[in-house]
Chains A and B, each alone.
Chain A
């Protein structure tokens, strides 16, 4: 029970500190925007989102502010920075549930078009290669190294399971422990393969 106090303090401290950070970073972003520094403001909103707290109004505020700023930027490179920043911030806060998971798909289209345009503009490839360039950039952008959430959860839970089984084997019952070890260990190996 006493450990619950420590866990409670851990969670409450994390929520409090992240929330305070969000509040401060949004304010700093607003100030930078007023002083005509949109890229710096976007970076502050990005940081606010990286200090993500479930149900905090600042998450939505940060996303909206970045989304609003992106189309207003004149330079293509800056727009690319803006869209990519929002997309990557969302990927950096994903877990079992990904907040704003619908956003990256929408952003992908804008990003791909911008990248293709910029590549063509800078490198002047032959016209018949435009499609290929788009496809190359799309393939790179679509690659997601994040393993399956389901199998990943199984990996870590079955690890805990087989470590616990060994301890059970030592301190309680060798037979029962061994049996559960075999089950959890097999599950662990399987999920490592499947993740």
Chain B
């Protein structure tokens, strides 16, 4: 039965998986993996190599093959859940229920169909959980200890949250303190063997493209411990456990919302019954599983997700990604809860089979929701927008990016797709800084020594920009020092940065821009038609809308039927855009008129459809976001 259920999930995950790069880190992961390089800190060397392995499959595009890694490890994680249930209850039918419950949950499904390391991480964690449980149930076995140590070391070459599984494992080691201590030196040896996977960073970290290169041991620890993220570095995040006790309250509150969003209401009483069953079954098992659940729910939430008000992007990044092990633990307890109910019905044989099977089937009803909100099959937003921008740049242009979606998209096209290799993309250190990092111009000597980019690399940015070859994703404004010298001209989902003393005739600009009308149109159609509840897709589409509006305003109309005033303001130093809102004029931006006529009515309709499809209200966590509650955190 379990293999049938896994096959059902296999089909649905494949069906709804992303066929090109998805939003977020996908572009960077794909480049890091294909070049056998690194991703952002902590480098993720194990994930890079697993992605590379899958990239050799002869099916679909390279990003799709890499998404298969998520699919495969989510299926393996579901199987581990089943194994845990079977080991505890011995009941094959009841064990299906938590698998169905977790498999259709919003975030688990979502992470299974995009290029992300969270399902690989979950598989390692669930395997470790299983090893600990085996030790409790079957007695101490030295091999379990050594294997767990090796896996722990290996997990550090993927994602650091795996380390939290130490908390329940420490409990198991206390139970078998003497033999544990006796074998500790071997444990350390095997842990180090697993940790050796990180050697990949020292060998490859400076030979090929790496967003944060590793040259020596110092830079290795910098990247490994995520030091460039300062407050977000692994040691700093861990310190969050001990700061501000009130945070535990908010962590709990936010966790409740996460579980409520991922599981149906009837799961909650089963969850409580599951905890009860675990303690009744064996105190040790109860404590062990509860420690696991606490580590990945409350403690992790305290470290990463314990604010009273959190913005939509925070919900998207944290709630939707970090808590897969907590969802796993929740589903496990729900399964145990159902088993307790089954024990109460022990005299009715028919019910013993019918109830868990029908509940599992009932849990699968969620598939219909997931086939909409987590269906990436037709989500071409990142691919389309990135490609439209790069396609529109004149030969030998400099493209300044900021933020994962645009930056990683440009790297993907540059290094993996080898599209428009004449473009040199740099990312801003911050939107307020004129420090540019030439990570999209690798190997640098090719660009530095060229006639085409010599002006830029010699520091003559104004002269370079005078030839119409400087483009930026962000709207340049004070306090960025470059804002003093350049003005922003709307371009294809980006801005052309033109020296303030250079005037470009409007007709010339219009003709150039309209050359790419079809590409803008296509990207906007992608923005209007995708069905996924994906915050970053929405952010990309919303941010691109004013540029599209500008293009609409340049379309010549034969018979004017109306006039629209368009006002766009760029707020803060991120992708916050305010459109046609009174009172926002204190922010830098632009105003222009759109003459409405038969030639651009379709485009205006498309604009409105994009607005509609990318409303923040569509986001599943919207009611809980700072934006919905009027806060600012």
Contact = CB atoms under 8 A, between A and B. Distances in A.
Contact of A163 (B11, B15, B31, B154): B154
A5 B59 contact: no
A143 B441 CA distance: 11
Contacts of A5: 3-4, 7
Contacts of B197: 159
A14 B15 CA distance: 7
B267 to A, nearest CB: 25
Contacts of A189: 199, 203
B146 A170 contact: yes
A123 B469 CA distance: 9
B26 to A, nearest CB: 13
Contact of B58 (A54, A78, A160): A54
Interface stretch (B238-246, B418-426, B493-501, B589-597): B418-426
A10 B202 CA distance: 35
Interface stretch (B390-398, B471-479, B536-544): B390-398
Nearest to A157: B53
Interface string B167-197: 0000000000000000000000010011011
Contacts of A85: 419
B146 to A, nearest CB: 5
A69 interface: no
A43 B395 contact: no
A155 interface: yes
Interface in A70-113: 75, 77-78, 80-81, 84-85, 87-89, 91-97
B443 A143 contact: yes
Contacts of A163: 154
Given A13-B10, A14-B60, A145-B35, A84 B419 contact: yes
Contact of B36 (A51, A80, A155): A155
B65 to A, nearest CB: 8
Contacts of A92: 61-63, 416-417
Contacts of A78: 515
B203 A145 contact: no
B394 A159 contact: no
Contacts of B62: 92-95
A156 B53 contact: yes
A119 B452 CA distance: 9
Given A5-B7, A50-B20, A95-B55, A39 B522 contact: yes
B451 interface: yes
B58 A96 contact: yes
Interface string B406-437: 00000001011111111000000000000000
A163 B151 CA distance: 10
B467 interface: yes
Contacts of A146: 34-35
A162 B327 CA distance: 32
Interface string B28-65: 00010011100000000000011011011111111111
B548 to A, nearest CB: 15
B391 A81 contact: yes
Contacts of B36: 147, 152, 155, 192, 195
Contact of B203 (A132, A166, A192): A192
A21 interface: yes
Contacts of B522: 39-40, 43
B447 A140 contact: yes
A91 B418 contact: yes
B442 interface: yes
Contact of A166 (B194, B380, B413): B194
B3 to A, nearest CB: 4
Contacts of B491: none
B60 A18 contact: yes
A147 B61 contact: no
A173 interface: no
A147 B415 CA distance: 12
Given A147-B36, A163-B154, A9 B447 contact: no
Nearest to A24: B378
Contacts of A145: 31, 34-35, 208-209, 415, 442
Contact of A141 (B203, B416, B422): B422
A185 interface: yes
B367 interface: no
Given A122-B395, A141-B421, A18 B59 contact: yes
Contact of B422 (A10, A95, A97, A137): A137
A189 to B, nearest CB: 7
Contacts of A53: 59-60
A54 B55 CA distance: 15
Contacts of A89: 417
A13 B208 contact: no
Contacts of A23: none
B265 interface: no
Contacts of A139: 446, 450
Interface string B499-533: 00000000000000001101101100000000000
B422 A115 contact: yes
Interface string A38-60: 11100100010011111000000
A143 B59 CA distance: 25
B14 interface: yes
B585 interface: no
Contacts of A185: 196
B4 to A, nearest CB: 8
B338 interface: no
A91 B451 contact: no
B451 A129 contact: yes
Nearest to A123: B467
Contacts of A132: 451
Nearest to B418: A91
A181 B516 CA distance: 56
Contacts of A80: 395
The 3 closest A-B pairs by CB, nearest first: A88-B419, A136-B450, A9-B7
Interface of A: 2-3, 5-6, 9-11, 13-15, 17-18, 21, 37-40, 43, 47, 50-54, 75, 77-78, 80-81, 84-85, 87-89, 91-97, 115, 118-119, 122-123, 125, 129, 132-133, 136-137, 139-141, 143-147, 152-153, 155-156, 159-160, 163, 166-167, 170-171, 181, 185, 189, 192-193, 195
Interface of B: 3-4, 6-7, 10-11, 14-15, 19-20, 31, 34-36, 49-50, 52-53, 55-65, 68, 71-72, 75, 143, 146-147, 150, 154, 190, 193-194, 196-197, 199-200, 203-204, 208-209, 377, 380, 384, 387, 391, 394-396, 413, 415-422, 442-443, 446-447, 450-452, 467-469, 515-516, 518-519, 521-522
Given A91-B417, A119-B394, A167-B150, 10 more contacts: A15-B59, A18-B60, A37-B518, A39-B519, A50-B64, A53-B59, A122-B394, A129-B451, A139-B450, A140-B446
21 contacts: A5-B4, A37-B518, A39-B518, A80-B395, A81-B391, A87-B419, A91-B418, A92-B416, A93-B62, A122-B467, A122-B468, A132-B451, A136-B451, A137-B422, A140-B421, A141-B421, A152-B36, A156-B49, A156-B50, A159-B49, A181-B193
